[in-house]
């Protein structure tokens, strides 16, 4: 097919890419990762089909972090990603802001250190018109790149849960379990960011209610089988909606839900559409200034909080 320039070849490769299971180190999965990579490199598919560059680069940048125990495979992935970033940077930028997140995760790998440093200090090394990280941070992550990390089986399950969320919320036992589990996540998953997580849980419920996915929380709250623990969790997570939901909630643009603070958000990435990019950029520079120093846990928490907290 490659030799005869068959049309639609990009879709074939994207579909193969989506067969890769993130986090899986089974023999079959590792074989697919390596075989697909070797095929792409051998035939230089990205030259004739540049559409595949963003999803393939994004997927393999993420896979690098999963393959520290498979040095040969990891090295092939590193070389492939470095090649795309140096030869096809303008196309790589189309990934959007998740390119920066992915590069941040591999920035301590020696081969990526120069790329990371140039992004921060010498952006013109990539392209005379490239202005720096802030330019990429303003680009929403390409949908196809996010899909590249989700298998078709997983997509089917996610669609099922999404399309049947209202039905699920009508099942008392399941509803109580979900509510209490969500409360536990907000409180315990990362305590230093609990308020940030709570804010975005509230934002999500606001969107659900405004689009009538769930018409009212009162029926759920007053469910006879709910105990006080579950009701207290609902008050903690969604108290303001229990009080104001009889009023008409604003119907917002599908792609730009309004948060309780009035700021616009990208609903896919949960990142402010108009962030103070300088603040984020300065934080990146601060934690990357010492090439020999690994990011501290607090540095990373501060950066995540800055990105998520509606700056």
279 and 233 belong to one structural domain:
no
Residues 6+ positions from 22 with CB-CB distance below 8 Å: 62, 63, 66, 149
Of the pLDDT bands very low, low, confident and very high (cuts 50, 70, 90), residue 144 is very high
Counting residues of the chain whose pLDDT is more than 70, the rounded percentage is 73
Min mean pLDDT across 97-106, 224-233, 297-306 is at 297-306
71 and 107 belong to one structural domain:
yes
Counting residues of the chain whose pLDDT is more than 90, the rounded percentage is 41
44 and 85 belong to one structural domain:
yes
| Residue 157 in domain | no
pLDDT single digits (tens) 261-274: 344 444 333 333 33
Q: How many domains does the chain have?
A: 3
95 and 216 belong to one structural domain:
no
21 and 96 belong to one structural domain:
yes
| Residue 213 in domain | yes
Min mean pLDDT across 75-79, 248-252, 253-257 is at 253-257
Q: In the listed set 248, 267, 293, which residue is the last one of a domain according to the structure?
A: 248
43 and 128 belong to one structural domain:
yes
Q: Average pLDDT for residues 43-55, to the nearest whole number? A: 92
With CA atoms as reference, report the closest residue to 58 among 31, 26, 27, 94: 94
User: What domain range is 237 assigned to?
Assistant: 169-248
19 and 128 belong to one structural domain:
yes
192 φ, ψ (degrees, to nearest 5): -70, -20
| Residue 43 in domain | yes
140 and 173 belong to one structural domain:
no
| Residue 4 in domain | no
| Residue 178 in domain | yes
| Residue 197 in domain | yes
128 and 178 belong to one structural domain:
no
Which one has a higher pLDDT value, 10 or 245? Answer: 10
What local confidence, expressed as pLDDT, does residue 10 receive?
A: 86
143 and 13 belong to one structural domain:
yes
217 and 133 belong to one structural domain:
no
Q: In the listed set 210, 231, 248, which residue is the last one of a domain according to the structure?
A: 248
Q: In the listed set 147, 179, 202, which residue is the last one of a domain according to the structure?
A: 147
173 and 300 belong to one structural domain:
no
| Residue 86 in domain | yes
Q: Average pLDDT for residues 275-296, to the nearest whole number? A: 53
Which one has a higher pLDDT value, 73 or 296? Answer: 73
Query: What's the whole-model pTM score?
Result: 0.58
What local confidence, expressed as pLDDT, does residue 275 receive?
A: 41
Of the pLDDT bands very low, low, confident and very high (cuts 50, 70, 90), residue 237 is very high
| Residue 56 in domain | yes
Six token digits for residue 245: 């939901």
Q: Average pLDDT for residues 202-229, to the nearest whole number? A: 87
């Amino acid at each position: 097919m490659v030799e005869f320039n068959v049309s639609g070849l990009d879709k074939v490769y994207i579909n193969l890419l989506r067969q890769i299971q993130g986090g899986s180190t089974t023999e079959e999965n590792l074989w697919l990762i390596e075989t697909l990579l070797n095929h792409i490199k051998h035939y230089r598919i990205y030259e004739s089909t540049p559409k595949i560059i963003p999803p393939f680069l994004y997927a393999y940048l993420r896979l690098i972090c999963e393959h520290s125990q498979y040095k040969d495979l990891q090295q092939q992935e590193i070389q492939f990603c470095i090649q795309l970033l140096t030869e096809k940077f303008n196309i790589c930028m189309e990934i959007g802001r998740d390119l920066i997140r992915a590069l941040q995760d591999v920035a301590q790998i020696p081969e990526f250190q120069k790329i990371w440093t140039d992004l921060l200090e010498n952006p013109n090394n990539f392209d005379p018109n490239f202005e720096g990280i802030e330019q990429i941070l303003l680009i929403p992550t390409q949908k196809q790149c996010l899909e590249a990390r989700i298998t078709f089986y997983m997509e089917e399950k996610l669609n099922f849960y999404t399309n049947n969320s209202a039905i699920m919320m009508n099942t008392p036992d399941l509803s109580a379990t979900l509510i209490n589990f969500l409360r536990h996540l907000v409180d315990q998953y990362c305590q230093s960011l609990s308020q940030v997580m709570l804010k975005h849980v509230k934002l999500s419920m606001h969107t659900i209610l405004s689009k009538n996915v769930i018409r009212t929380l009162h029926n759920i709250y007053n469910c006879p089988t709910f105990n006080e623990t579950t009701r207290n969790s609902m008050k903690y997570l969604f108290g303001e909606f229990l009080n104001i939901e009889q009023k008409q909630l604003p119907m917002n643009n599908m792609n730009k839900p309004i948060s309780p603070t009035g700021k616009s958000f990208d609903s896919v990435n949960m990142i402010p559409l108009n962030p103070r990019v300088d603040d984020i950029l300065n934080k990146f520079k601060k934690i990357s200034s010492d090439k020999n120093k690994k990011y501290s846990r607090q540095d990373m928490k501060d950066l995540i909080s800055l990105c998520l907290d509606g700056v």
